[in-house]
A and B are shown apart, each in its own frame.
Chain A
Amino acid sequence: MIRAALRRVGRLLASARLATLLLAFIGTWSVVATLVPQGGDSEPLVAAWASAHPLIEPVARVLGLHQAFAAPVLTVCILALAVSTALCAWQRTKAAISRGRALRGALAAEKQGLAARHDLEIACDPDLSEPEVLSIASETLRRLGIKTKPQDDVIMAVSPAWSAWGSPVFHWALFALIVVLLLGNLSRSSGLMGVAVGQSKIDQPGSYGLVSAGPLRDWPGVQRTIRVDALDLHFKTGGVDRGPTPTVSVLDAQGKVLKSQRVYPNNTLNVGSLTIYPADYGLTATVSLVDTSGVEAGRSVQFVDFYAKADSGTAPVGFLKVSDAAGNAELRVYVSVPLDRVAGGLAGRLPTTPAARVLVTSLDDAPVVDQVLHPGEELALPTGSRLRLIDLGYYARLQVVSDPSIPALYAGLIVAMIGLGVAAFARQQIVSATVMTAPDGAKLAVRLRLWRNAASSRSEIETELTRALSGVEKGSTT
């Protein structure tokens, strides 16, 4: 009973109709997904669309159309397509084995065998000699795009056995690609990490501002440190301004530099599964807390982002908590950097006269102190301690991706393209012909197998050969 049900499911998954329907469904789903805004409920576009389409919105929500490419419906279809592709690849492999055998066998065709077993029999003009018949047939086939070779008393155009392997190789590679993509998503992490110039961060979740990671991402397995050595705001090479370009180093657990290079679009840093791209840059303000006895209690690097809507042109990425002696948070410190004004707006770089605006608030965000500091200057906090601005600088926001599946993905793509190339361009055909003498005159015996990418068709070959050899076709045998 269970076996019968499994067999039915297997037959269903192996059916060409299901594969076609799945492809059509995934295509249609993708079309719809491009028409519906993508993202979470908080996305303004999604919210606007929802209020503009109150009737469709519940359906879109139930189907998961706002996150269409992560929706369970699509995932299930892709998994079903993967199984279907594997079963299809298996069937095609079996077909390729038998077709390859037929192609190899056809190469050994000889006159007697062909005379006994053929697909077409074409009566020839009695005045034509055997070599003339073969020559005319060869020329006729050539005009139809089929180039034959003479072999003893036979002319033949037989595709090589490998021509049968394009489709199975492509389907197996597609299956492998789907598996690699799924596994890759489980083991992949991608996030944004801000690193101040001259500083480093360990590659672990806490170092990222934003990170998404699959459940199989091996964080503790590989200990790597990412360091930003320098930032060039206008790095030029090859006559192209590459934009803000950080020089990034990756170090191992022992502090040994594994790789170091400038990182800009199309010139990413790759170490093992780790790939580092430049996402953005911003400013940093290094501040220190000096206690009542004049001892520096600790330093902190505050990130400041460029923000066109702010008067100063920058906005703090976060804030610094100042605690009392018992460790209870009492104040918040926000740091921004007023930018230089230039023609057309604000300059996206450190101001010519370095200075930072320090806003100290209570925990409920009521301003307590608001002061502009230059490097080396201090301000007094209500707690009795002082806040000193040490320095201003830059930070690079790096997109750090760890994806061990990339090499396998590229390999899968290459194999898939080779398979598809063979399927698209290689002919799969057997055309062989010989002359046989019969009591009612000479006849051309033709064996035809036009499986794929044939230059002509059976009916056209039959018509043209009949016309060329001026005979009357007597019908097929075998």
Chain B
Amino acid sequence: MTFEIVVMWVALTFYAAATAMYAFGVTFSKDTLTKWALAASAAGLGFQVVSLGIRWARVGHGPYLGFYEVANALVLCVVAFFVVVAWRNPRLSATGIAVMPIAVLLLGGSMLASKSGIAITAKLASYWLFVHVAFANMAFAAFAVSFGCAVVYVVRQRSASGKWVKRFEKLPAQDVLENLMVRFVLVGFFFWAIMIATGAIWANEAWGSYWTWDPIETWSLIVWLIYAVFLHVRYTLKWHGERLAWFAIAAMPLALFALIGIPLAFNTTHAGIGGLGKDL
């Protein structure tokens, strides 16, 4: 096992510890544990950055190619986004109970994948690669945090005994949490739109057509349309509360599927991100 992989296992351990601390901290109303959970998330992030930095230097490109790198980059962005949000607004730290398990599962899954480096091909050798992938990751990070807000919202809303209301009492009020959930969706929607736009421009440069209805292009559009429906029902049809939260909960896995599931399930020109498709 190389040093790079050992460091990544350390990062995963920190994320798993953070998840456990969030679970115990929130369930038993231990504020100190919740604070430590955020610190553990940040520490894990540091180790992950180091591991990916070593890999970047070794393979000569950023974490764009293969399931290991793609899932890793997604986790990096999710945790970084969450840590920044929780650091700037400590009241949101408890949403880590829903966000950190995503990071653990995704990073854990990537650790089982092949870790050999994939070389950059002629079609991938473009600065658009960085821009396109970076916005995809940032969009998913925003959707994941909105998912965390939505899960916490629903749990608190459905707590008939009031126990979970007390456990989540440090969180902002439900209406504020709902606003934040919508804001994160809006931010993710914006980043996702940039991801699609830069992808179209890049495809025009690399493949000769800005849109070919490739499965991953189509699913990117589908996810964007789903979140467009979310924003429409929120802003124009005035949906509020639990059903809006359920919408955010249901939409996030679709975004994840579009990013890492489609290349596994379909023959796509985006095979480089970890699928079984034709060419890069």
Nearest 6 pairs of A and B residues by beta carbon: A16-B236, A277-B208, A27-B225, A424-B190, A457-B175, A266-B126
Give residues in B with beta carbon < 8 Å to A.
Answer: 89, 120-123, 125-126, 128, 172-173, 175-176, 179, 183, 186-187, 189-190, 193-194, 197, 200-202, 204-210, 213, 215, 218-219, 221-222, 225-226, 228-229, 232-233, 235-237, 266
In the complex, the answer to whether A424 meets B209 with C-beta atoms within 8 Å is: no
> A454 within 8 Å of B by Cβ?
yes
Can you name the residue of chain A whose Cβ is closest to the Cβ of B120?
Answer: A240
| Complex contact A20–B237 (CB within 8 A) | yes
A241 touches B193 (CB 8 A): no
Interchain CB contact under 8 A, A424 and B218: no
Given contacts A19-B232, A20-B233, A413-B197, A34 and B206 within 8 Å (CB-CB): no
From DSSP, what is the main secondary structure of chain B's interface residues? helix
Cβ contact within 8 Å between A265 and B172: no
B201/A17 in contact, CB under 8 A: no
A399 at the interface (CB under 8 A from B): yes
**Residue in contact with B173 in the complex, picked from A33, A241, A459, CB distance below 8 Å:** A459
Pair B204/A406 contact, Cβ less than 8 Å: yes
Which A-chain residue is minimally distant from B197 (CB atoms)?
A413
How distant is the Cα of A456 from the Cα of B205 in the complex, in angstroms? 44
* A4-45 interface code vs B (CB 8 A; 1 in, 0 out): 000000000000110110011011001101100010000000
Instruction: Find out whether the CB atom of A457 lies under 8 angstroms from the CB atom of B179.
Output: yes
Which residue in chain B gives the minimum CB-CB distance to A421? B190
Tally inter-chain residue pairs, CB-CB below 8 A.
118
A145 to B88 alpha-carbon distance, docked (Å): 10
- Chain A stretch 239-268: residues in CB contact (< 8 A) with chain B: 240-243, 264-268
Contact of A266 among B123, B213, B215 (CB under 8 A): B123
**B213–A69 CB distance below 8 A:** yes
CB-defined contacts of B229 to chain A, threshold 8 Å: 20, 23-24, 27
Contact status A266-B218, CB under 8 Å? no
Interface residues of A, count at CB 8 A = 50
**Residue contact A401 to B208, C-beta cutoff 8 Å:** yes
Q: Which residue of B lies closest to A31 (CB)?
A: B222
Is the pair B125, A38 in contact by a Cβ cutoff of 8 Å? no
B248 vs chain A, min Cβ distance (A): 16
A207 at the A/B interface (Cβ < 8 Å)? no
Chain A residue numbers with a CB within 8 Å of B122 are 240-243, 264-266
The reply to whether B187 and A409 contact each other, CB–CB distance below 8 Å, is: no
Q: How far is the CB of A472 from chain B (nearest CB, A)?
A: 20
In the assembled complex, A275 has its CB within 8 A of some CB on chain B: yes
Q: Whole-angstrom distance from the CB of B44 to the nearest CB of chain A?
A: 27
Let me know if B206 and A265 touch, CB within 8 A: yes
Complex: A399 Cα to B204 Cα, angstroms = 11
Q: A425-B190, A457-B173 are in contact. List 10 more A-B contacts (CB 8 A).
A: A16-B237, A23-B225, A24-B225, A34-B215, A38-B213, A145-B89, A417-B190, A423-B190, A424-B189, A459-B173
